[in-house]
Copies of this chain bind each other. A is one copy, B any other.
Amino acid sequence: MRIVIPLFDRFTALDAVGPYEVLKFLPGAEILFVAARSGPVRDVPKWLAVTADATFAETDACDVLLVPGGPGARGLLENEELLTWIRRMHQGSTWTTSVCTGSLLLAAAGLLEGLTATTHWAAVDVLESFGATYTPERVVSQGKIVTAAGVSSGIDMALTLAARIADQTTAEAIQLAIEYDPQPPFDAGSPIKAPQAAKDLLVKGIR
């Protein structure tokens, strides 16, 4: 089972690495990071690089496509090379998935038109501009397409996917392996729950 994760400049590493750490345990899985060029791909603010081991051109099929998001995603919404590649991968995939603003790339490729989907809460307008209907759920399944909400939601998405690809016991064993028993010290992980002061700070810029 070939799982392919495309990278691009200014991606968000946790979008990719969260689900990676879940899916790598699946029986028969092989995971390949790919990009326009092979080699290190930098996030924002360039302190982290993940290596792409193959190029888009070299990668013509997969069983699971997992598209991460990040600040760089918005600049790729008219990148026909990438969108054509996403469409081609989706044609042969068993599962086509995204985390965070990765769903904007699926949407720009035309895959979410008329479907319900999710994305980072701050990117809803862009998602809907491509004909998808946003729902504020953490993991949204529509046939073989599974979209996840912002950044950290990829872990929940991947566990959901692991249960479908293998079975619930396998997903639970993976959850135990990564000791995923979340205990956030605060309850501010969604716009509905976050205190106004935290929202104001985020709008103003934390740094």
**A63 within 8 Å of B by Cβ?**
no
Residues of B within 8 A of A32 (CB): 47
**A121 within 8 Å of B by Cβ?**
yes
Min CB distance A177 to B, Å, is 6
Partner of A202, one of B24, B30, B173, B186: B173
The number of chain A residues touching the other chain, given as a range, is 35 or more
26 A-B interface contacts by CB (under 8 A)? A13-B20, A17-B17, A17-B18, A25-B207, A26-B207, A29-B207, A31-B48, A32-B47, A48-B50, A48-B51, A149-B179, A150-B177, A151-B177, A151-B178, A152-B180, A159-B186, A170-B206, A171-B186, A175-B184, A175-B188, A176-B189, A180-B184, A180-B189, A181-B184, A181-B193, A182-B184
Chain A positions near chain B (C-beta within 8 angstroms): 12-14, 17-18, 20-21, 24-33, 40, 45, 47-51, 53, 100, 120-121, 138-139, 149-153, 155-156, 159-160, 163, 168-186, 188-191, 193-195, 197-199, 201-202, 206-207
